[in-house]
Amino acid sequence: MLARRRECQPYWSGCDMRETNMEQLENITYNELSVGDSATFSRTLTERELLLFAAVSGDVNPVHLDSEFAANSLFGERIAHGMWSGSLISAALATVLPGPGTIYLGQDLSFRQPVRLNDTLTVTLTVAEKKPKNRVIIECVVTNQNGEAVTQGNATVLAPSEKQSVDAPRLPEITIENDAG
């Protein structure tokens, strides 16, 4: 049975990124996958990531961005965008299981608990079913540092048919500026 684990990637902000130390991303082909194979992927939600997600997605709901507004909400404090945890599932599928060359066909998600600033989330992917034509159903469970499931669902992917190993792309540094005033 296959098991993989991936922590913070060097091509992400907050991680060391040197040209000489590029991380290799290697896929698992459809033929190599077996029901029960699993992988994990972890990431911590920082203030910077929350702001970047709001900027990129356009979701500026004040429950994510305004402390005063959020204090009077159901949660009593700012929370992450639900799809931030969904995006971690996408990242795990693309970089860990099955990895490079995977085509994301569909996803059902259930948001079970709020994600708060500085929560460390772990995505656990488990191959649930192999279907014809390289289609794979992958169970997705996202837990916080306390082991509580915050997001759950199933992804349908088209697994790669050819083995690939590629350098993780180097992403540009992004600056956040607040021009309120």
Q: What is the pLDDT of residues 62-89, one digit of tens each?
A: 999 999 999 999 999 999 999 999 999 9
How is 130-144 classified by DSSP, letter by letter? Answer: E-STTEEEEEEEEE-
- In this prediction the pTM is 0.85
What is the pLDDT, as a whole number, of residue 155? 98
**Average model confidence (pLDDT) across the chain:** 88
- How confident is residue 5, by pLDDT bands cut at 50, 70 and 90? low
Band of pLDDT at residue 18, cut at 50, 70 and 90: very low
**3-class secondary structure, 83:** helix
Confidence of residue 180 (pLDDT cuts 50, 70, 90): low
Number of helical H runs and strand E runs in the chain: 4, 8
Tell me if residue 85 falls in helix, strand or coil. helix
Give residue 6's pLDDT band: very low, low, confident or very high (50, 70, 90).
Answer: very low
Shortest CA distance to 111 belongs to which of 133, 136, 138, 79? 79
Q: For residue 3, name the pLDDT band (cuts at 50, 70, 90).
A: low
CATH superfamily of 3-8+23-45+80-161: Hotdog Thioesterase (3.10.129.10)
CB atoms within 10 A of CB 90: 16
Residue 26, pLDDT above cutoff 80: yes
Tens-digit pLDDT profile for residues 101-151: 999 999 999 999 999 999 999 999 999 999 999 999 999 999 999 999 999
Cβ within 8 Å of residue 147, ≥6 positions away: none
Reported as a pLDDT band with limits 50, 70 and 90, residue 176 is confident
